[in-house]
Amino acid sequence: MFFFFFLFIILVYFSAQPFLVIYSLALLFILYKVFWKQGMPKVIFVGLIYFWFSITVKIFYADFTGLKYEELSESPKIVETTYLALLCLAVFALGIYITSKNTLQNVYVNYSETFGYSIKKVIFFYAIVAIIAFFLLGIFFVFPAFSQLFYAIIQIKLGFLFLLIHTIYAQKKPIWIIVAIVSFEVILSFVSFFSSFKDILITVAIVFSFYPIKFSVKQYARNIILGCATIYLMLVSFFFKSR
């Protein structure tokens, strides 16, 4: 909590849009308090935060680079549009909360269930899908009529990545396997056209969000590092796309 308020003060103080930053961070805090609770699937929170990032990333990018926020969009009312987008996200989140708070009370989730999956087999199938995805990326623009189909198949790799990380983590296997695979995927994504590292880091965040809250220094450190890495890479990606 102290880290959040410290970051809050720093971002507001150095922002050219302080009221917009206050508005966006206040919404972030509300989403955290409402959806990051015991018994509430953390994947909902992760999904909402992804939408929040997609709305606010240009605000922080402008502050970090010294640009005007209005210069990053062709719309003359980008500030008003951002306020409205955040309001729409708040209404959307409210709808999710109202419709899900009663239905989730009797839902039991076994966070350690892996259905007896073999680590070796999961890694094998993940490697096969990764090779197929890499091949499809190479011919993606050769057959434009099949681009949607190819992209859908490529996205299946994220499902296997989710399964692989969950299986390794739940079975308490060496964590370096996850670190090595995720690091390789992130590095590889920077040399591809799609720069899909955001999807990879979001998948990792979703996996860890399935596990119960444990108030420990290790968990806080892991979450802060993962969050900062995601924000930094999103800003870097936006910088190269805007050049």
**What is the per-residue pLDDT for 88?**
93
**What is the per-residue pLDDT for 209?**
66
Q: Over the range 72-94, which residues count as b (16 or more CB within 10 Å of their CB) and which as e?
A: beeeeebbeebbebbeebbeebe
Q: What is the mean pLDDT of the chain?
A: 76
**What is the per-residue pLDDT for 91?**
94
Provide the residue ranges of all domains of the chain, joining segments of one domain with +: 2-100, 119-242
- Provide CB contacts within 8 A for 151, sequence distance 6+: 140
**What is the per-residue pLDDT for 210?**
66
**What is the per-residue pLDDT for 87?**
93
pLDDT tens column, 159-186: 888 888 888 877 777 778 878 888 887 7
Torsion angles phi and psi, residue 205, rounded to 5: -60, -40
CA distance 178 to 157: 15
Contact 184, 213 (CB under 8 A): no
pLDDT tens column, 109-125: 555 566 677 888 888 88
Going by the DSSP 8-state scheme, the letter that residue 194 receives in this structure is: S
